[in-house]
């Protein structure tokens, strides 16, 4: 398989779903082929799961169908709890302030984080508290 094509496992399902979406939006295979500059046969084979499609052609197809790949990825990342760049900046500011605390104040802060984590009934928040405690400990007492 070429590194610029999709794997066989995923192109069949994606092709069928994109074919359904294209049809619902009134696109013929011929019109899509013209818009993304590939053959109608290539579109047909991709939609039927018989062949893969180049990555750049897939990205162009998604654009034509009004699917914002970057937005979908951002939504997935957000649902995973990965901090955004703005949040990272906020956390870095918090760390910068905490780094200037004396060692006893840092230890007290970590103890408070652990205490709050134990008080939270939500497993996700408790896990986040533990990760925060670990991260703070590593960042504040490193070096």
Read off the pLDDT of residues 116-135 as tens digits, 9 standing for 90 and up: 776 766 777 777 777 777 77
What average pLDDT score do residues 90-115 get? 79
Which CATH code of 2.40.50.90, 1.10.1500.10, 1.10.260.40, 2.40.40.20 fits the domain covering 8-77?
1.10.260.40
Bridge partner residues of 5 (DSSP): 54
pLDDT at 1 over 50: no
For position 18, what pLDDT does the model report?
92
What average pLDDT score do residues 75-81 get? 73
Dist. CA 49–CA 107, nearest whole Å: 58
For position 36, what pLDDT does the model report?
95
What angle is formed at CA 117 by the lines to CA 113 and CA 119, rounded to 5 degrees? 120
127 vs 75, 113, 122, CA distance in Å?
A: 21, 11, 9
Dist. CA 21–CA 64, nearest whole Å: 11
Dist. CA 125–CA 117, nearest whole Å: 7
Which comes out higher in pLDDT, residue 89 or 18?
18
Read off the pLDDT of residues 3-46 as tens digits, 9 standing for 90 and up: 444 445 555 688 899 999 999 999 999 999 999 999 999 999 99
Contact, 55 vs 61, CB < 8 A? no
pLDDT at 137 over 80: no
Dist. CA 92–CA 71, nearest whole Å: 25
72 vs 77, 87, 119, CA distance in Å?
A: 9, 19, 34
| Residue extents of the structural domains in the chain | 8-77, 85-141
């Amino acid at each position: 398989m070429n590194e610029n094509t999709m794997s066989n496992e995923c192109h069949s399902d994606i092709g069928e779903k994109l074919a359904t979406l294209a049809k619902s939006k009134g696109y013929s295979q011929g019109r899509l082929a013209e818009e993304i500059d590939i053959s109608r046969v290539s579109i047909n084979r991709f939609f039927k799961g018989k062949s893969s499609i180049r990555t750049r052609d897939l990205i162009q197809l998604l654009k034509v169908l009004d699917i914002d790949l970057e937005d979908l990825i951002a939504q997935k990342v957000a649902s995973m709890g990965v901090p955004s760049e703005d949040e990272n900046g906020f956390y870095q500011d918090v760390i910068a302030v905490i780094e200037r605390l004396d060692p006893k104040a840092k230890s007290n802060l970590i103890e408070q984080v652990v205490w709050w984590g134990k008080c939270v009934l939500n497993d996700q928040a408790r896990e986040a508290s533990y990760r925060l405690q670990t991260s703070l400990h590593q960042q504040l007492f490193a070096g």
